[in-house]
Amino acid sequence: MIAVLIILVSCCCFIFSTWYTMYKNRNLPPGPTPLPLIGNLLNIERGALVNSLMTLWKQFGPVYTLYFGSKPVIVICGYEAFKEALVDQNDAFGARGETPALDPFAKSRRIIFTNGERWKLMRTFTFKTLKDFGFGKKSFEGKIQEETRCVMEELRRSQGQPMNPARCFSYAFVNVLCSVIFGERFEYSDKRFSKLIGIVDDIFHTMCSIWGQIYSIFPAMKYIPGPHHKAVSVAKVFIVLMAEIVKSCQETLDPERPRHFVDCFLIRIEKEKNDPSSPFTSENLLYVLHSLFMGASDTVSTTLRHALLIFLKYPDAEDKVREEIDRVIGRDRLPRMDDRLNMPYTQAVMHEVQRFSDIAPLNGPHMVTKDVQFRGYFIPKGTNIYPLLCTVHRDPTQFATPYKFNPNHFLDEKGQFKRNDAWMPFSAGKRMCPGEYMARMEFFIALTTILQNFTLSSEKEFTEDEVAPKLAGFLNFPIQYELSFIPR
């Protein structure tokens, strides 16, 4: 009995000592008091991580501290603090933070969720090669226009009947990525293509689930069995599928005439095969492909679905955009990126859709690369940083009506398009999305082509609440809805 008591007292002393060490004697930003072992787990509403963080923003201000288990996480809110960290001190705040749901999966090999010299080398090669094949360049318009034509055909097949365009949009924009990675597009009926998109959807669904959110704020979950581990197992299925596609590319590879990104990577592998320190390996190619699909699979599709839902609620906005389309582009050719320079209202609407829909409200986790003094507080090297992008897009000092759809946020008194530095749907600093121009090109061409060819209609009248983005874990999505595409 005495021995048990001694053990219990010892455990309590150890727990208290751990708590005292992690919480006291640090000049970290203020925040809610953590509990031993679980940190601030009880301060996070079940299944509502982002909403809980925004509530704490109102309570503790633009910079505060949370504990995920025994580890402190610094949360940065609002435009000024966000800019000061990710832009003004981008070297210090530029590392990628921990992502528990995927970190066990090839942590050192991916280009989105990792750091270091190998990351820099791989990132540089990846995006230089993609650009060599037109990725993000004006010359890439043709591939986007080609895929947009396929989307128009799918929409016409509906013959004006109500439909949910989510699947069609998702397939289209993933196909654009496939055209530069594999050198070809897939038919929407291709079973392997459908499987590929389904796998990526499963990974996001797992990470955004309640279990996935708990895993993110309570790292000890890695020792507990449960559905939060599914993201890793599904990612491995993705790797197997990619290996099959890469093998078919390898069988027809001509080193003198690379056709696409995979060819270039395979050629680099062969060139450095005798260098044991080279990151260019067949295994790493598969993980790079995983990163690319994770980063570009559903963003434009989700944004476009937000835009169409908004037009159903605000038909005047749809009419004004279509008026610019008819005046600037007409009906006899496909839209081009240059057209947007003469379409101020359309630009304003697109920017406002991206601000209002706020697809990635949590942004990606960051990490400080060195000890940092930030707004009078000390942040030690290796501390995880959560820069809340949603607090930038909902900052009342930057946007007159932050929770309402309002294109006037991006129009001056003369009705001309005006920029706003607080518009950051692609984040900012070193981890800013490298596919920004590509995504903006896809969004503009797809949206204007749809309105050029169709009038939108729905039997249902949507409320403002229904139009507002709906948070699902770490991401915002529109509600599920149907609409009719009436040929013009």
Residue 451 covered by a domain: no
Helix 210-217 vs helix 191-208: angle between axes, to the nearest 10 degrees? 50
pLDDT at 473: 67
What contacts 441, CB < 8 A, 6 or more positions away?
A: 136, 140, 141, 144, 337
pLDDT at 383: 93
pLDDT at 219: 65
Residue 431 covered by a domain: no
pTM, to two decimals: 0.86
- Least-confidence region, from 83-87, 199-203, 384-388, 390-394: 199-203
pLDDT at 128: 87
Residue 446 has pLDDT above 70, yes or no: yes
pLDDT band at 13 (very low <50, low <70, confident <90, very high): very low
Residue 224 has pLDDT above 90, yes or no: no
Q: What is the dihedral of CA 428, 430, 433, 434, to 10 degrees?
A: 130
- Least-confidence region, from 5-14, 219-228, 240-249: 5-14
Residue 103 has pLDDT above 60, yes or no: no
Tell me the CATH number at 68.
3.30.43.20
The residue with greater pLDDT, 343 or 177, is 343
Q: Exposed, middle or buried, 197 (CB in 10 Å: 0-12/13-18/19+)? A: buried
pLDDT at 362: 84
Domains: count for the chain: 1
Looking at residue 298, the DSSP 8-state letter turns out to be S
Residue 284 covered by a domain: no
Residue 118 covered by a domain: no
**How many C-alpha atoms does 382 have within 13 Å on its Cβ side?**
1
Residue 11 covered by a domain: yes
What is the enclosing helix (H) or strand (E) of 13? helix 2-23
The residue with greater pLDDT, 212 or 274, is 274
Residue 49 covered by a domain: yes
Domain containing 78 equals: 1-91+359-393
pLDDT band at 102 (very low <50, low <70, confident <90, very high): low
Residue 468 covered by a domain: no
Residue 183 covered by a domain: no
pLDDT band at 10 (very low <50, low <70, confident <90, very high): very low
pLDDT band at 65 (very low <50, low <70, confident <90, very high): very high
